[in-house]
Amino acid sequence: MSIAPSGTEVALTGPVGQVIASLGSAVVEVEFCDERRGMARIDPVRTVEVASTMLAMDGARLVTATGLEVRDGIDVLYHWAVEPAGIVVTLKALATRPGLELDSVANVVPAADWIEREMHDLLGANFPGHPDMRRLILDDSWPEGVYPLRKGFDQVTDRPALPPNRTPPDVLTPQEAPPGPGTAGQIKHPGKTMINIGPFHPLQEEAEFFQLYVDGETVVDVDVRISYNHRGIEKLDESKTFDQVPFVVERVCGICSASHPLAYVQAVEEIAHVEVPERALYLRTIVNELERLHSHLLWVGLAGHFLGYNTVFMWAWKYREPVMDVLEIATGSRVTYANCKIGGVRRDMTDEQLAQIDKAVTELQGPMEMITNVVLDDPVLHARLKKVGVLSAADAKAYGATGPTARGSDVPIDVRRDDPYAAYDRLDWKVITAPGGDVFGKAVVRLLENFEAVKIIKQCCAHLRGTKGEIDAKVEAIPPGEGVGHVEAPRGETFHYVRSDGSNRPVRHKIRAPSFVNVPTFKASCIGLQVPDVAITLASVDPCYSCTERLCSVVDAENPHRRLGFKELVKLSQEKTRKMRKEW
């Protein structure tokens, strides 16, 4: 995606042009407009007006926003998707120095709540009018005025350049620690009881902290604290070459290790105008649908375990194993596949491998039918899951929900169909939805999507068997520009934004995993529930908290106001290894 020079006239044509034109005088400059993508700069004082107009548009939802540090301040890029047209429109607004302020849009678009809090934590952008500007990503002990996504931040030593008279972060005084959930910053509900779920809880596979405020057994409010586990991947990617980044982002999540690299390379391919060979498109599709199968079967098994139905747990995980086996046969790994690259894929699949994949998914259909019938026909599961944790279609849109979380609310969005990529537009399959918006509906969507995944994989194998072809477009360099890539991961849409300045490294790489928009829907689905129903409602969106995080901070247990840098962690690790060797 290239940007038109300032002052160049850009024709507003097609669905993208219609969306931009509908914003009228709020648009001050159109930078780019083609069939699928558009970029326009809007008047910063009219961000709330523009957000309201976009949300009211049929099929429009706020995907995420990207913050960019520029000479004059923080450029905020609001990425809107419009279905079923399958387009992405990026609207830019500049938060100028010294205040770095833009009016918050979170009051009219709930999907912007966490996005704006994240941008404030990591870049220092300010959003007057935001309903809850407590810290979301950074630890409470992180010093004020230090923003880890600023260009001056040193991610190796953890010693950013501080303003004059500031205390270095490793000797932070207690008075500088801002409040957060669980401390003085928690929501106040006098007379209500608070129940904690987490940070470590059997129904949350990763560390996350939910606080339930209850009146008797009824939940009246929910608070959450994230950022217990992250690797600072967005910052790390700025120091990697374009070809190295796929190896990093496939480690964002062990269950979405095909989805994240594919979304990233598609964003870069958009910048470089790359035409990916057809065979590579089919190979990408096979790996991503195998990933969908293993993710959905994992979730079904865990859901059975959470509900005390361990037979379903053992069945689902038993039949997931052949899927993992063929992933290893085809890519060399059960978890991180290292097969997706800019311009295509790294390895082809032989006819023998394709036959093994086809055989494995064919044999899976019988067991999947059994598991599906068990769930759909069990009156106990109907009683336990129906009308529990209801997320209305309107709330799903307002919070920007995606994937089975949205489709379980009868919202028929799916990037594979709406903005086709890989080989999906060449195959016969359908988008699965369910009415009701409850936990049962989300389970139904995942169970039935498994059969569509099998159908897709078998078609790809049949198309590729007995044929040969190129698998790599051999991209040599990435020109300046901006691109977006989004992929329908098992949990929903994974969105990546990449900016290039013509060097061999991205200037900015923004990642928005599906859990970042699906988890906040608890504000709409959990309030009013009974306490026992909250945990299964939280689990029903298949949350991945490592996908959701953006930063980690290691604190000295003996001195909680001292953070440990990279070199100190290496030294501690070496010392522990030497000690263990002496004890052997």
Q: Rounded to an integer, what distance in angstroms lies between the CA atom of residue 86 and that of residue 36?
A: 7
In tens, the pLDDT along 404-444 reads 999 999 999 999 999 999 999 999 999 999 999 999 999 99
Backbone angles phi, psi at 243, to 5 degrees: -80, -20
Residue corresponding to tokens 């902290």: 209
Q: What angle do CA 95, 52, 3 make, to 5 degrees?
A: 50
Q: pLDDT band for 184, please (50, 70, 90 cuts).
A: very low
* Dist. CA 103–CA 171, nearest whole Å: 34
Q: Is 394 helix (H, G, I), strand (E, B) or coil?
A: helix
Residues 518/403, Cβ–Cβ less than 8 Å? yes
Is residue 107 predicted with pLDDT exceeding 50? yes
- Residue 96 pairs in a beta bridge with 73
Spatial CB neighbours of 279, under 8 Å, sequence gap ≥ 6: 348, 464, 467, 468, 469, 470, 471
Using pLDDT thresholds of 50, 70 and 90, give the confidence band for residue 375.
confident
Residues 478, 244: contact at Cβ < 8 Å? no
In which band, very low, low, confident or very high, does the pLDDT at 210 lie, cut at 50, 70 and 90?
confident
Mean pLDDT of 196-210: 75
CA distance 126 to 133: 9
pLDDT, position 186: 58
Q: Does residue 489 carry a pLDDT above 90? A: yes
pLDDT at residue number 224: 86
Residue percentage of the chain with pLDDT more than 90: 65
Please name which of 470, 87, 427 lies closest in space to residue 275, comparing C-alpha atoms: 470
Residue ranges of domains in the chain: 141-177+559-584, 233-548
Look at residue 149 in the predicted model and tell me its pLDDT: 87
CA-closest candidate to residue 253, choices 192, 294, 223, 212? 294
Is residue 522 within 8 Å of 308, Cβ to Cβ?
Answer: no
Higher pLDDT, 342 or 150: 342
| 480, pLDDT greater than 70 | yes
Q: What is the pLDDT of residues 32-64, one digit of tens each?
A: 888 899 999 999 999 999 999 999 999 999 999
For residue 562, give the amino acid letter.
R
- For the four alpha carbons of 305, 435, 407 and 119, in that order, the dihedral sign comes to negative
> How far is C-alpha 513 from the geometric centre of its chain's CA atoms?
0
Q: Assess contact for 497 and 482: CB atoms under 8 A.
A: yes
User: What's the CA gap between 498 and 482, in Å, rounded?
Assistant: 6
Contact predicate 120/67, CB 8 Å: no
CB neighbours (10 Å) of residue 302? 18
User: Do 261 and 269 form a contact (C-beta atoms < 8 A)?
Assistant: no
Q: pLDDT band at residue 102, thresholds of 50, 70 and 90?
A: very high
Report pTM.
Answer: 0.88
d(CA 172, CA 157): 16
| Region of residue 347 (phi > 0: left; psi between -120 and 50: alpha; otherwise: beta) | beta
Q: Average pLDDT of the chain?
A: 87
Q: Radius of gyration (Cα) for the chain, nearest Å?
A: 24
pLDDT in tens, 257-276: 999 999 999 999 999 999 99
Query: CATH fold of 233-548, please?
Result: Cytochrome-c3 Hydrogenase; chain B (1.10.645)
Specify the pLDDT at position 202: 66
Show Cβ contacts of residue 457 under 8 Å, excluding neighbours closer than 6 positions: 285, 286, 289, 290, 293, 357, 358, 361
Q: What is the pLDDT of residues 115-128, one digit of tens each?
A: 999 999 999 999 99
Residue 438 CB partners (closer than 8 Å, separation 6+)? 385, 386, 387, 388, 389, 390, 391, 408
